[in-house]
C-alpha cells in the first residue's frame, strides 16, 4: 500500500515503540487506516533496550541473591556464579516471545507496517525507502537514546551506555555508575547482585532525586546495607582511561576508579535530521512541543512518548498514543494527569510512587494543610516473611484526599496499582480504610497505612 501513490492513510506513524504502536493498534481498532514506520524493531526501546531486558537482568540478580542467602530460610543451596551467556539467553527469550506476539498483534489489526528509516517530508507525509507515505495526520513517535555529557565519549569499551550494559558478556569486577536516577540505580542493583563492586555518582543530593525525599533516604540506607557505594552532591568533571580501567574525577576533586563507567544520566529525544523543524514543528532542546492532547503547533501533526517533554515511561507512551488515536477517531478524550501516573524503580528494594511528594504538596496546598504518615513494613506479616524492609508513606491534604503514595520495599511495584486508584479517584483515608485487604499480603500494608491515617491503626503504633 505504501508504494501506491494514490493511497492516503488516516494516520501515518513514524516510530514503532510504545507510543507509536499503541496509537497504531488503537487507531486500527477504531477503524482508522494506519501506516506504522519503524527503522529498527517493532516495540522500540522498552521491549528491546529498556524496560523488559533490564527487568530480566534484575530478576536474574534476585535469583542470585536468593541462592546466596537461602540458608537464612532454612534451605541449603550453593551459588556457583553467574553464567552471563545463560542470563542473556533467558533475557533474549523473554524479548523474543513478546516481540513475536506484538508482530502478530499489529498484523491482526491490519496495520500497514513499513520497515525503514522515515523522514517527515511535509505536514502530511513521511518519506521512507524512496517512497512517500501520505496521511491525513502524522504522529511523531521516534523515541529517545542514551545521553552523555560534553567531553564524555561513550565508546562501548570501558565507557558504556545502558544499551551496551544490556549485552555485556561478562560480570565486571567493578563499575562506576554515573547517574543516580532510575536507570543508574537499576543497573547498580543488578550488577551488585551479580557480584560487581559498584559506586554510583550522583550530582544532586539524593539517589532517585525526583522521588519523595523519604523514599530516597530509605533507598540509600538499603544500598549501604547491600554494599553499594554512592557519592552525592558533587558533579562529574572528567573521565580518563587507566592501565586497566577508568578513572572518574568529580568537581570537588574526589576520584573513583573501576573497570567500567556506565553513563546513565538519562535519555535524549531522537529528532535531529528527521525533518521536524523544516516542516515548522515547534521544538525545545530536541523535544517536540505539544499541548495536553499531544497536538503540535502544526494542525496535522501530533507527537508522543520520549520525543515529547513528559515522563519517559513506556506506559505513558501507551496512554499518549491511545489518546491521539481516539482524538483522531472523534472520541471524547481526557488529557493525561502525569501526577497520577504510577512510577516504579525496579532496584532491590523497589521504589514506587504515584501522586506528588510531601514537599510538592506543601508548596501547592501550604505546609499547615498537609499531613504525612509513614507505615513501616516491619508491621506487615508478608514483608517479614520475605525479609524486606521499607515503608509506605501517605501524603494527604488535611481532612481531604490522599495526594501522594510513596513506597520502598521488595515488590512494592506490585502495590502501585491500588495506589494509582487511591490518587486518581481522590480517595479519603477513611474510604480506603473501609476496604478489606487480604492477609497476609504486602498489599495489606496499604490498607494498614490508611487505617492509621484515618485514626484507627491496627498493626501499627499510634
Q: Catalytic amino acids?
A: 439
What span, in angstroms and rounded, lies between the C-alpha atoms of 254 and 231? Answer: 9
- Residue keyed to cell 569486577: 173
DSSP 50: S
Using a 10 angstrom Cβ sphere, with 0-12 exposed, 13-18 middle and 19 or more buried, the burial of residue 300 is middle
- Residue keyed to cell 563507567: 261
The total number of residues shown for the chain amounts to 462
What span, in angstroms and rounded, lies between the C-alpha atoms of 302 and 293? Answer: 9
- Residue keyed to cell 556464579: 81
User: Directed axis angle between helix 444-453 and helix 416-424, to 10°?
Assistant: 40
The gap from C-alpha 181 to its chain's centroid, in whole angstroms, comes to: 10
What span, in angstroms and rounded, lies between the C-alpha atoms of 343 and 351? Answer: 8
CB atoms within 10 A of CB 247: 15
Cβ atoms of 250 and 134 within 8 Å: the answer is: no
Cβ atoms of 384 and 393 within 8 Å: the answer is: no
What span, in angstroms and rounded, lies between the C-alpha atoms of 13 and 119? Answer: 11
What span, in angstroms and rounded, lies between the C-alpha atoms of 87 and 55? Answer: 12
Cell of residue 95, nine digits:
524479548
What span, in angstroms and rounded, lies between the C-alpha atoms of 192 and 174? Answer: 9
Cβ atoms of 271 and 284 within 8 Å: the answer is: no
Cβ atoms of 347 and 216 within 8 Å: the answer is: no
Positive or negative, the CA dihedral 187, 190, 193, 196 is negative
Instruction: State how far the alpha carbon of 415 is from the alpha carbons of 182, 222, 343, 423, 449, in Å.
Output: 18, 19, 11, 13, 13
Report the SS3 class of residue 328.
Answer: helix
Instruction: Return all residues near 290 (Cβ < 8 A) that are at least 6 apart.
Output: 296, 302, 303, 304, 308
The string of DSSP letters for 336-349 reads --GGGS-EEE-SSS
Amino acid at each position: 500500500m505504501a508504494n501506491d501513490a494514490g493511497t492516503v492513510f488516516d494516520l501515518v506513524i513514524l516510530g514503532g515503540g510504545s507510543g507509536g504502536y499503541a496509537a497504531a493498534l488503537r487507531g486500527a481498532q477504531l477503524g482508522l487506516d494506519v501506516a506504522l514506520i519503524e527503522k529498527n524493531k517493532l516495540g522500540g526501546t522498552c521491549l528491546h533496550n529498556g524496560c523488559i531486558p533490564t527487568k530480566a537482568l534484575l530478576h536474574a540478580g534476585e535469583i542470585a541473591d536468593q541462592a546466596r542467602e537461602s540458608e537464612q530460610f532454612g534451605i541449603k543451596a550453593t551459588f556457583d556464579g553467574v553464567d552471563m551467556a545463560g542470563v542473556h539467553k533467558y533475557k533474549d527469550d523473554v524479548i523474543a516471545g513478546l516481540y513475536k506476539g506484538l508482530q502478530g498483534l499489529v498484523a491482526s489489526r491490519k496495520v500497514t507496517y513499513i520497515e525503514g528509516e522515515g523522514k517527515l517530508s511535509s505536514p502530511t507525509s513521511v518519506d521512507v525507502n524512496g517512497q512517500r507515505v501520505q496521511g491525513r495526520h502524522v504522529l511523531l513517535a521516534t523515541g529517545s537514546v542514551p545521553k552523555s555529557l560534553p567531553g564524555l565519549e561513550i565508546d562501548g569499551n570501558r565507557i558504556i551506555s545502558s544499551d551496551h550494559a544490556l549485552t555485556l558478556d561478562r560480570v565486571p569486577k567493578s563499575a562506576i555508575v554515573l547517574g543516580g536516577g532510575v536507570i543508574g540505580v537499576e543497573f547498580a542493583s543488578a550488577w551488585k547482585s551479580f557480584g560487581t563492586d559498584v559506586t554510583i555518582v550522583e550530582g544532586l543530593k539524593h539517589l532517585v532525586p525526583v522521588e519523595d525525599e523519604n523514599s530516597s533516604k530509605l533507598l540509600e540506607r538499603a544500598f549501604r546495607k547491600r554494599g553499594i557505594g554512592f557519592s552525592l552532591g558533587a558533579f562529574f568533571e572528567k573521565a580518563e582511561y587507566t592501565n586497566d580501567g577508568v578513572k572518574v574525577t568529580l568537581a570537588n576533586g574526589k576520584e573513583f576508579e573501576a573497570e567500567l563507567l556506565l553513563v546513565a544520566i538519562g535519555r535524549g529525544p531522537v529528532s535531529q535530521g528527521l525533518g521536524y523543524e523544516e516542516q515548522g514543528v515547534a521544538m525545545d532542546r530536541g523535544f517536540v512541543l505539544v499541548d495536553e492532547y499531544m497536538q503540535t503547533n502544526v494542525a496535522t501533526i501530533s507527537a508522543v512518548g520520549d520525543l515529547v517533554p513528559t515522563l519517559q515511561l513506556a506506559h505513558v507512551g501507551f496512554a499518549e498514543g491511545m489518546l491521539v488515536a481516539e482524538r483522531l477517531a472523534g472520541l471524547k478524550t481526557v488529557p493525561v494527569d502525569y501526577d497520577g501516573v504510577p512510577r516504579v524503580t525496579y532496584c532491590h528494594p523497589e521504589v514506587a510512587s504515584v501522586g506528588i511528594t510531601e514537599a510538592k504538596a506543601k508548596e501547592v496546598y501550604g505546609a499547615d494543610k498537609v499531613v504525612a504518615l509513614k507505615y513501616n513494613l516491619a508491621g506487615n506479616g508478608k514483608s517479614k516473611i520475605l525479609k524486606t524492609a521499607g515503608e509506605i508513606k501517605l501524603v494527604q491534604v488535611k481532612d481531604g484526599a490522599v495526594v501522594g503514595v510513596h513506597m520502598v520495599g521488595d515488590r512494592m511495584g506490585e502495590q502501585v496499582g491500588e495506589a494509582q486508584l487511591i490518587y486518581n479517584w481522590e480517595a479519603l483515608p477513611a474510604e480506603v480504610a473501609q476496604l478489606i485487604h487480604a492477609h497476609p499480603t504486602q498489599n495489606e500494608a496499604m490498607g494498614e497505612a490508611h487505617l492509621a491515617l484515618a485514626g484507627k491503626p491496627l498493626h501499627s503504633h499510634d
